[in-house]
Structure formats: C-alpha cells, structure tokens
Amino acid sequence: MNEMSPKGAQKHLDFEKLESVVIRFAGDSGDGMQLTGSQFTSSTALAGSDLATFPDFPAEIRAPVGTTFGVSAFQINFGSTRILTAGDDPDVLVAMNPAALMVSLGYLREGGLVVVDTGAFSKRNLQKAGYEDNPLEDDTLAKFQVIELDISSMTLEAVKEFGLSKKDALRSKNMWTLGLMLWMFGRERKPIIEWLKSKFAKKPEIANANIAALNAGHAFGETSEMSSGIKRYQIGPAKTEPGLYRTVTGSETMAWGLVAGAKLADLKLVFGSYPITPASPILHLLSNLKEFGVITFQAEDEIAAICSAIGASFGGALGVTSSSGPGIALKTEAIGLAITTELPLVIINSQRGGPSTGLPTKTEQSDLYQAVYGRNGEAPLPVLSTCSPGDCFFVAIEAVRLAVKYMTPVMLLTDGYIANAAEPWKLPEIDKIKPFPASFAKEKTGDGDFNPFQRDPATLARIWAKPGTPGLEHRIGGLEKSFETGHISYDDDNHQKMTEVRAAKIQGIENDIPEQKVALGNGKGELAVVGWGSTFGPIDQAVSRMRAKGFDVSHIHIRYLNPFPKNLEKLLKGYKKVMVPEMNMGQLSTLLKDRFLLEVIPLNKVSGQPFKIRDIMSAIQKNLKGRSS
Amino acid sequence: MTEHVSPEKLTAKDFASDQEVRWCPGCGDYAILKCLQRTLPELGTRPENTVFVSGIGCSSRFPYYMATYGFHTIHGRAPSVATGLKLANPDLDIWVVTGDGDGLSIGGNHMLHTLRRNVDLNILLFNNEIYGLTKGQYSPTSHLGTRSPSSPFGSIERPVSPCSFALGSGARFVARTIDTDQKHMPTVFKRAKEHKGASFVEIFQNCIVFNDAVFGEFTNREAAADLQLHAVHGEPLLFGKEREKGLTLNRDKLALEVITVGQGGKTIDDVLVHDETNPILAQMLVNMAPPDFPVVLGVLFCQPAESFETSVTKQIAAIIKKKPGASLDRLMRQGRTWEVKA
Ligand code: SF4
C-alpha cells in the first residue's frame, strides 16, 4: 500500500499516480516540523485523502540546536485507500539538517526519496550530528533517491524584501519546504495561506514572509522540474462514507466528548487537572470552552486535581480529572475514596512510556495493570480504552454515562499517540445520541437520618443527594459504611458484604455494555489477534493483509477492559490460538489469563514507536505456519 | 426535619447528628464541637446549606457529628475537595476542619494554594502540636525538643507557626482562638463565616492524652491575663490584669516591645492600635510568644478581596454573555471541514 514502487505507479502526464504515500518531516526542534506536518495534514485532508499522522518529538522543549536528541519529526500516511496507521516505512524523508538525516534515515524504505537542505549541512552541523564525513558526498545515500536543495538560501532570497533579520528569515524555511511538498503531491496552498494570515494577524510582516516562502517553494517545484529531477505524484481522494469531515486529534475529541457527555447527563462539568505531558492539551482545550459553562481548575498538584473533581461530584456536578501514568499514580488514594464513597468521576490517562518519568513524549500502553489493579484494598472500577482520535469522542461520552449511572469513578485509557495524532473524522450528530440525565434524590423517605447508600436494586448504584437539598443532610467518607444505614461501620460481616456489593456493582456493568464483536474476520477459527487502544490500526491492517493472502486470522478489539464484555471468554475460546500485540510487556495477556485462564501468545513492544504492520504480519505468519489456505 | 423551620428557631440540637462522639474524654475537640453547634444557629446558618469537609486525624471526625452535609476525605486533601465543591456550588457554606498534621504536614501544599487562591472556605485548624490518632508522634507544630514515640530524645525540627504560614501564603483572613474559651471562640467563628474568601482560624486545642497542657503556660486561668492579648480592630493592643500593659513599636529595632502604661514615661498614646488590615503588623503579632510576650488572639488580619469561585463564575458568565447559545455541533463544524458526497 505504501510502496511508491514504479511497478504499481502509472505515468499520467507529469503526475505519477499512487495509492498512498508516507512522508516524514524531520528537523530541529526549532525548525517548526510539527507545524509543517500539521499544515500538510490539513491540506491533504481537505483534498479528501484518508490519513493518519504520528508526531514524534523530543521531551526537551528546545534541545541544543543541531543535535540528534533535538530532532523533531512528523510522519503522515495518506492515500486513496483506508489508512489506519502512520505507515511502517516512510517513502519520503524531508531532512532539514544533518541531525535529522542521521536520526531518520533508518526509517526510510530502500529506494525512497530524501529531500535535504544543503544549506544546513555545515561542518559544524555535521559534527554535531555525529557525521565524520558529509553523507551527501559519500555513499550513505546510495540506496535512495536524493534531492539536494539549498533551502536556507532560497528562503532568505524569497523573504529578502521583508527586511527580517537572518535568524527570523530562516524561520520560514519550513514554509518553503512545505510549499515544495504541496506542489509535489498536488495539494492546495490556500488553506495554509489563510491560516498564516489569521495566526500572524498582528504581525503581518511575519505572515507575509511565510507566505512568500511557501509560494517560493511551490514555484521552485514548478519551474525547476526538469533539471532537478523532481517529480509530482497524484493521490486520489479516498472512498469514505458521505458526510461532513474535519481532521481531529485525540485531545480535541476527548475534550468535546466530555462536554457532550456532561450535557447528555445534564450536569455541570468541573475539570480538575495538573499540567503533564501528553495530557495537558485536554486541559487547554477545555479551558477554552467556557461558553459551555465548563469549569476548569488547574490545581497545585495531581492529588488536588482529582480531589477537586471528587468534591465537585459530591456537590452534584460531573467531576473529571486527566493525567498521564505518573500523575495517575499520585491520584490513586483519591480514586479509592471515590470508589468507596461511590461518587461519579471520570479519570483520563493519556499513557506514556514508563516507569517513573519514563519517556514523556513517547507512547506506551503500560498502565493497564495500574488501571485495573493499582489500588489498595478491594477497589474495582470500570476501565475503558479508546482506539483512535475520532473514537475518543464516543468513549468519553460512554465513560460519563457509566460513571453517572453506576456512581463510580471510570478510568479511560488513551495514549500519547492518540492524543497527538490527527485523522479525518466524520462529524457526529450529537442530537442522535440518547441523553442519560442524572437523577438526584429529592426528599427523604423513611425514619431517622437520610441514608445516602440506598441502592437501586438493578444497578446497585447508590442514590445521589446534592448538598443544598433540605432534609437530605448526610455524611460520607473513606471509612467503611453500614450497608443498612450508611453510617460508619467497623462490623466484619458488613465489610464483607459492602466489598461484595461494590464488586458486584462494577461486574454488573457487563450487562449494560455491547457484546464483544469481531472487528475483522470470523467468529471462530485458527487465530485471533486481540488488541486494545491505539494498536487498532496496525493490527487491523496486518490482519486484513494476511486474510487477503488466505490466512484464517481475525481481529478482535477490546474497548471495555473491566469488566470485559460478557461473551468475550466464549468468543476467544472459539479460536485455536490467541495472540495479543501490546505496547507493554504483556498486560492484557495477563488480564485475559487472569479472567479466563486463557493461553495467549504475547507480542510486545516498548520502543516508544507504534507497531509496524509488518511486525504483526510476521507474527501472524509464524503462528499460522503452513495454515494458509 | 429542618425544612419547615425558620432560621430563628434552629438550636444547637438541629446541628448535632445522632452519631456517638468518639473522642477521648476531656479532649478539646468536644468544646469546639459544642461551640460550633451552638454558634451556627445564632448566625442564621441552614444545615442543608452547610458542609463540613475534613481530612484525616482526630479533628477530622468532626463532620460525622454535625447534622449538616459532610465529607470525611483523605489525609491532607480536605481543602482540595472543598475547593471543587465550592466551584460546583458557590452557594454552600463550607467549613474545612483540619489539624496540624493534616493541614500543615501532608496537606501543607493544598493549604498554601487554597489560601492564596482565596477560596471562600472557613478553615478551622485544630492545633494540638501532636499526632493524636496515630498515638502521639511529634507534628510540624511541635516545639523543639518534644519527646514522643518517634522522637524519644526530643524532636530536632523547628516548628511552623500556622498563622505565620497562612499570612505568608497570602491568606486574607487570619484569626486565632482557644478551645476552652467559649466566649471568644464564637466571635471568631462569626467573623470567619462573615468573611467572603478563605478564612483561616487556628484553634489551640488540648490533646489530653498525648500532649496535655502544652499550651498551659498561657491558657491556664492564672496566666491568661498576663499572657493573652485579645486584639480588636481599632483598639489599643493592651493586656494584663488591669490592662496596664501594651505593645509598642521600637522603631530602631523594627520590633514590638511590651511597655507598661504610666511607667517610664509611657502613655496610652505609645500603645499600638490594632489595625487588622495591616499584614506587617499581623505578621509581628502572630510571632509573639511567652514568656517575654503574650500570645495574641482574635482576628489578626482581615483584608477581603474577590474570592476565587466568584472570579471563576464571573469569568464564565462574561464569556457566556459574549458567546451566547454555545453549540457543540457548531463548534465542531467550525474551521476547515469538507463534505464527502454520496
Ligand atoms: S488523641 Fe488527643 S486529640 Fe485525639 S481525641 Fe484523644 S485527646 Fe483528642
């Protein structure tokens, strides 16, 4: 799919037609590669291609210029077919300096195209990148097609008239490059020009310089085509469902999903959070949605963040908190409090590489144990996961629904990849989602003190009484409560009973969630590849390709990780083998073994990079030796 | 129960829950509980609009004994839970009950930020200079040399002064009182409740079991007159049996000094007048300690400013006014969208 091989390509006028292309933009942290990538993404989406992106940037905000650890990259896979991953191997690498080339060349497929800015290949930069000899002069790039351009000086030339300092003028290098790439892949400049104008509305000279650079890069492609050997490629629009689309990141959809969920539950949203990578964008986005009555509270730490959300829920609002693994660890005691006081709460974990500070900007799925098991005492809670940027919207709503209906904290697992990656998304019709308004106790029934632990016999959820309501005054807390009265109880039998009731309440959610479906393939057979979270894309594409080759393999994607869907055990036991690819050392594998005594084949990766489709394909092949029909 | 009773008719009984109080006999907490149950109805408080939020420790059992709403949370975090509660419903009258360990050790960070944000909460810090619930270890307010199970040879940490900490954190209401002073305590509670914003009240509370009489030097009846100074806004800072002693400012040393009116040429005009809006004076007053100085009590600092939840609510209201009729559908459809035709 991602091959730009001449075999599959048809010559059409000056365009070469391709199904899909993977481009990796790589440069210094200060080169604006994330911006270049996201603008290229917008223009590509507007042209109707399906796409997936992978922003891959360092943890340092501004690492020393020109160093390999300061390289920031943005990968985009786009095409006229269904695109679910950011692509295994880039077809095109744009390297803005030697360090970017050093770091990224290994990703490029053999025969791929390298575009380099020779203006940045100074002796000093080569040294900083760790090159002893200039790779443009030896055989380092022998296996690739290379386009060497002095982008730096062409940019300086293009923006000369704006009288910027050299340093400022060079900042437009990325726009020059973007202009060239837009030309190569037949994408529009207009949306980007509009964006530059609005972004730099207050600094028109910067806007104009950037636009000039963008146009110059584009014009360069047009005029120097013959002599430079630069070709143009054509990627048609993808066949997608009709509707209105836009590109979204997982952070955006998560924020919108929370707003939608609160509205459907008819509750005020109080979001308590503390800045942490890669979860902060949700805090930023919600802080900017005050016209929806959203209250955001940037707390002094992770603990205060979750405690403020718990306090809000006690007050009859919807408390939500968000963090990443290390922050969730700090919130753990408070999660226990929300479990035992049975208050609704949504906890979002944008997972990153661990343990401890780990790899803040790299993605991992290693907080599943933490989510399911990581608390003191018997403390079960529902755990949900999202599989793509667009999916976050619906899972956020579902988390709110379960939290409110079952009076429980709900853990929602997403990850850094989903949070930052962009994909085209068909805009949902919110009116079509069934509301689930929260209900509050109105008046006291029975004699004596009001008992806040009266339960709905069907869901086992306790009654929710809002402070401010006369006659319903009550006290709750972290100490064990009497099943009968809700008052403090140290009685042994009562503790046994309360523990069982809390567990049964969570387990009962299995009756309220959809049955497990097969994402791709058959309901039984030789091999099921089971995943959760952001591995959806590579697993689905791998299974799809192996099925096309005749292998009996199916894809099962689990969204509800605790409790599991009721039919999951039976479904999985219908396959001879179950393989679980995960970006951890086997946490879902453990969970499946724990719950179903199921033998599973783990496939683990914790390199900070998403799975490649071929990693999974070869694992499928290995486990289905000779079973191709 | 309470819903049809007009505020004037409520009594202490309407604020007492049916739960058996479980502090040690003779604990100072009883006196504080009784005093609040008695004072709240006098202030026109409604039980349904009142919430007591606490952390962990002896004092934090407080909410269970009040017939109001209550939340016994986790160690040190009551101010954070209370902040979220206040944001969710700014109309509630919220009291945070905490101790020296809960509020200044494990929860010191939250105390700092809650005070600087000026969330409208009434924070009562029961200071008994010891960890009671865990059986008597020294606390962050214990004086140097306190012998306890975890400091058998005497503690070697310098203590924090709660009121000084509160002032340093930017608290806009700081007051002090004593558990046994049933006349003084209600006046402080009243002022704390009236103050819109974070009200910080330190209560010297006697732990009869693990730290008995640690404040005895200035709380016992004989010493009270000479070692307690009741500061009142606009009145001279006088104390002593005949109110013959007063505080003056030694301008050369920039320090307070005790003088006796009518001695050494000092007159009442030399005595400083309490100005509760002056943070520098407040800081000097809270740091006074026997034997050379009296312990200051009363409202030491009060300078209201807009409370946190008010600012939050106002900002949201202003934005809603500017962008009325917010629609998520519209928001999501803004910007670069494209149509895929069937
Ligand atoms: S241990 Fe001390 S503070 Fe705690 S209840 Fe007993 S006397 Fe009161």
Residue B341, pLDDT score = 83
Residue B100 Cβ < 6 Å to ligand 1: no
Contact residues for A188 (Cβ-Cβ < 8 A; gap 6+): A43, A46, A47, A182
- Partner-chain contact B88 A303, CB within 8 Å: no
Answer yes or no: are the C-beta atoms of B264 and B282 closer than 8 Å: no
B6–chain A Cβ distance below 8 A for any pair: no
Structure tokens, B88: 């969710």
Beta-carbon separation of B316 and A295 below 8 A: yes
B residues 11..30 contacting A (CB < 8 A): 17-19
pLDDT score recorded for residue A1: 38
B positions 297-336 inside 8 Å of A (CB): 312, 315-316, 319-320, 322-324, 326, 328-329, 331-333, 335-336
pLDDT average, residue stretch A340-345: 98
Cα B40 to chain center, whole Å?
Answer: 16
Tokens of A34: 């994330």
Tens-place pLDDT, residues B239-296: 999 999 999 999 999 999 999 999 999 999 999 999 999 999 999 999 999 999 999 9
What mean pLDDT do residues A263-291 have? Answer: 97
In this predicted model, what pLDDT tens digit does every residue of A36-79 receive, in sequence order? 999 999 999 988 899 999 998 887 777 788 899 999 999 999 99
Distance of CA B198 to the CA centre of its chain: 8
Task: Assess if residue B78 is contained within a domain.
Answer: yes
Chain A positions touching B3 (Cβ under 8 A) are: 470-471
Q: Is the pLDDT of residue A6 over 50?
A: no
Per the CB < 8 A criterion, the answer to whether A512 and A482 are in contact is no
Cβ contacts of A193 within 8 Å, gap of 6 or more: A211, A214
* Spatial contact of B54 and A478, defined as CB atoms under 8 Å apart: no
Q: Indicate whether A8 pLDDT > 50.
A: no
> Residue A475: closest CA among chain B residues belongs to which residue?
B70
Residue window 546-565, chain A: list those with CB within 8 Å of chain B. Answer: none
**Least CB-CB distance to B72: which of A301, A471, A479?**
A479
Q: What is the pTM of this model?
A: 0.92
| A267 or A446, greater pLDDT | A267
Verify whether the Cβ–Cβ distance A470 to B3 is below 8 Å. Answer: yes
Q: Structure tokens of B72?
A: 């016994």
Q: What is the CATH number of the domain that holds B27?
A: 3.40.50.970
- Of the candidates B17, B86, B341, which has its C-beta nearest A242's C-beta? B341
Hey, are the CB atoms on B113 and A304 less than 8 Å from each other?
A: yes
Residues from chain A contacting residue B72 (CB–CB below 8 Å): 475-479
How much is the pLDDT for A7? 34
The best mutation among B29, B61, B102, B139 to test binding of ligand 1, ranked by most ligand atoms within 8 Å of the C-beta, falls on B29
- Strands A409-415 and A383-385 turn out to be parallel
**Ligand 1 pocket member B210 (CB < 6 A):** yes
What is the rounded CA–CA span in Å between residue A616 and residue A625?
A: 14
Answer whether A518's CB lies under 8 Å from A557's CB: no
Give kind and range of the element (H or E) at residue A540: helix A536-548
Q: If you count residue pairs, one on A and one on B, with CB atoms under 8 Å apart, how many are there?
A: 213
Q: Is the CB of B128 under 6 A from ligand 1?
A: yes
Minimum-distance CB partner of B69 among A295, A307, A474:
A474
Contact A311 B68 (CB under 8 A): no
User: Is A175 near chain B, with CB under 8 Å?
Assistant: no
Residues 83-112 of B with CB under 8 A from A: 83-89, 91-92, 109-110, 112
Q: Which domain does B178 fall in, by range?
A: 12-214
Q: Which atom of ligand 1 is nearest to the CA of B126?
A: 3
Atom 2 in ligand 1: residue holding the nearest Cα: B207
DSSP string, A6-62: TTT-EEETTEEEESEEEEEEEEEGGG-HHHHHHHHHHHHHHTT-EEEEEEE--SSSS
* Model pLDDT, residue A503: 98
Burial A103-136 (b: 16+ CB within 10 A, else e): bbbebbbeebbbbbbebbbeeebbebbebeeebb
- Mean pLDDT, chain A, rounded, equals 93
Give a yes or no: residue B245 inside a domain.
Answer: no
State how far the Cα of A413 lies from the Cα of B44, in Å rounded to an integer.
47
Query: Using a 6 Å cutoff on CB, does residue B285 contact ligand 1?
Result: no
3-state secondary structure of A346: strand
Return the HEC string of B256-316.
EEEEECCCCCCCHHHCCECCCCCHHHHHHHHCCCCCCCCEEEEEEEECCCCCHHHHHHHHH
What per-residue confidence (pLDDT) applies to A231? 77
Region B96-104 average pLDDT? 98
Q: Note whether B37 contacts A: Cβ–Cβ < 8 A.
A: no
Within 8 A of A312 by CB-CB distance, chain B residues are 84-85, 87-88
Count of structural domains, chain B: 1
Residue B189 falls inside a structural domain: yes
Q: Which residue from A270, A295, A311 is facing B82, i.e. has the nearest CB?
A: A311
Are B56 and B38 contacting, i.e. CB atoms less than 8 angstroms apart? no
Three-state DSSP at A561 gives strand
Contact status of B115 with chain A (Cβ, < 8 Å): no
Both tokens assigned to A478:
């972290």
Mean pLDDT of A177-202: 93
B134 to chain A, minimum CA–CA distance in Å? 16
Q: What angle do CA A27, A32, A37 make, to 5 degrees?
A: 85
Query: Could you say which of A272, A290, A299 has the minimum Cβ distance to residue B319?
Result: A290
Q: Is B24 in the pocket of ligand 1 (CB under 6 A)?
A: yes
Query: Is residue B152 pLDDT above 80, yes or no?
Result: yes
Please tell me which residue of chain A has the smallest CA distance to B72: A477
The DSSP bridge pattern shows strands A269-273 and A318-323 to be: parallel
- Kindly indicate the confidence band of residue A3, based on its pLDDT and cuts at 50, 70 and 90: very low
C-alpha distance from B116 to closest chain A C-alpha (Å): 11
Percent of chain A scoring above 70 in pLDDT: 96
Rounded to a whole number, what is the distance in Å from the CA of A273 to chain B's nearest CA? 11
Q: Looking at per-residue confidence, does B19 or A10 come out higher?
A: B19
Spatial CB neighbours of A279, under 8 Å, sequence gap ≥ 6: A273, A322, A323, A324, A327, A348, A349, A350, A419
For the CA of B58, the closest atom of ligand 1 is 4
- Summarised one tens digit per residue, pLDDT across range A113-151 is 999 999 999 999 999 999 999 999 999 999 999 999 999
pLDDT of residue A228: 58
Q: Residue A250: helix, strand or coil by DSSP? A: helix
Whether the per-residue pLDDT at A16 is higher than 90: the answer is: no
ipTM score: 0.97
* Chain B hits for A246, Cβ within 8 Å: 332-333, 335-338
Asked if the structure places residue B20 within a domain, the reply is: yes
CA of B33 to the centre of ligand 1 (A): 13
C-beta B23 within 6 A of ligand 1? yes
pLDDT digits (tens, 9 = 90+) for A479-532: 999 999 999 999 999 999 999 999 999 999 999 999 999 999 999 999 999 999
Residue A422 with chain B: CB contacts under 8 Å: none
**In-domain check, residue B47:** yes
Whether residue B27 has its Cβ less than 6 Å from ligand 1: yes
Does B98 score more than 50 pLDDT? yes
Answer yes or no: is the C-beta of B65 below 6 A from any ligand 1 atom. Answer: no
